[in-house]
Amino acid sequence: MPAFRPPHISPTEITPRDIYLSRRNFVGTVAAGAGLSVLGGSSAFAAALSASPGPYKLDEKLTPKEAVTTYNNFYEFGVGKEDPSQNSGAFKPTPWTVKVEGMVGKPKEFGLDEILKMKLEERRYRMRCVEGWSMVIPWIGFPLAAILDQVEPLGSAKYVAFETVVRPEEMPGQGGLFQALPWPYVEGLRLDEARHPLTILAVGLYGETLPNQNGAPIRLVVPWKYGFKGIKSIVKIKLVEEQPQTTWKNSNAREYGFYSNVNPAVDHPRWSQATEQRIGEGGFFGTKRVDTLPFNGYANEVASLYTGMDLKANY
């Protein structure tokens, strides 16, 4: 067999670097535009949101918007990372109401209009997934405490329980033979965690209302905990006395705990939590890995919530 001979290409045929790079930019821009128009077509909700810059400055490179909106875990729309962006087109985030009830003086149902009138802030937070990857996301939202204050929790309330909407007709992962989890997805926080100023209800990201795949129209963001604590598309918030059920702990209590604080010293039984991969950086041949920080880098703000607790036992 004759040996392979590389084809002869004259140097003049090779496109100069700056030109092929600008061609990539052009293709990228067009692709992004196409992506946006698809999003715009699928969500009746996408709209610009104005927000004042909030506290907690973060000098880290933001994860590209396209990565934030196409690399998602939202099992209600499928278990693949791209499933939520591809399968959430039929989801209707408007109209929407969030019931806040339980051990409160003034139970209340919040309409989306009222929620969007809250004092919105931009919060740039690190987001660390329990699977070992992370992003930096500019959320728009308001402290969960602002809503809790309005309903006046009773002294006996110790925890806050959250619930995601169940709409199998709009969320393909909630129907069919093989469902990843029992629905509704439920999560919970201790009341002091819920009232912590870092804890927000997000209604947008990157200056716009939340895309369906990111938990439209309203989701929880608790930046010092693993991402799955950030329950999406919330319809119910209930103040309770006992530690509430949480979906992943119910599904596998050995691997997922109630607290789920980001902790590089406590490995997930199936993988190390010492480092994390920054999504959208480095590409195929140069994955960017950074050290995972205790409480995801928010130890100064939140470590005092857990004084005296064994964080290895309360993972």
Residues that bind another protein (CB under 8 A): 66-67, 70-71, 75, 79, 81-82, 131, 133, 176-181, 251, 267, 269-272, 274-275, 277, 279-280, 283-285, 287, 289
Choose among 289, 285, 312, 298: nearest CA to 132: 289
Cβ neighbors of 242 (< 8 A, separation 6 or more) are: 158, 159
**What's the closest the beta carbon of residue 177 comes to another protein, in angstroms?**
7
Q: Which is nearer to another protein, 70 or 296 (CB)?
A: 70
Q: Which is nearer to another protein, 70 or 199 (CB)?
A: 70
CA distance 315 to 311: 6
Q: Which is nearer to another protein, 73 or 261 (CB)?
A: 73
And the tokens for 134? 């992370």
Q: Which is nearer to another protein, 154 or 265 (CB)?
A: 265
**What's the closest the beta carbon of residue 82 comes to another protein, in angstroms?**
6
Burial 155-184 (b: 16+ CB within 10 A, else e): eebbbbbbbbbebeebbbbbeeeeeebebb
Q: Which is nearer to another protein, 71 or 258 (CB)?
A: 71
Choose among 245, 246, 261, 267: nearest CA to 306: 261
**What's the closest the beta carbon of residue 222 comes to another protein, in angstroms?**
20
**What's the closest the beta carbon of residue 99 comes to another protein, in angstroms?**
28
Q: Are 167 and 212 in contact (CB under 8 A)?
A: no
**What's the closest the beta carbon of residue 63 comes to another protein, in angstroms?**
8
Please report which residue ranges of the chain form alpha helices under DSSP H: 17-42, 65-70, 83-87, 112-116, 144-151, 191-195, 247-251, 299-302
**What's the closest the beta carbon of residue 153 comes to another protein, in angstroms?**
33
Give the CA distances from residue 241 to residues 155, 170, 201, in Å, rounded to whole numbers and listed in that order: 10, 33, 22
**What's the closest the beta carbon of residue 178 comes to another protein, in angstroms?**
4
Q: Which is nearer to another protein, 47 or 265 (CB)?
A: 265
User: How crowded is residue 307: how many other Cβ atoms within 10 Å of its Cβ?
Assistant: 6
CA distance 191 to 212: 28
Q: Which is nearer to another protein, 51 or 130 (CB)?
A: 130
And the tokens for 115? 């929620």
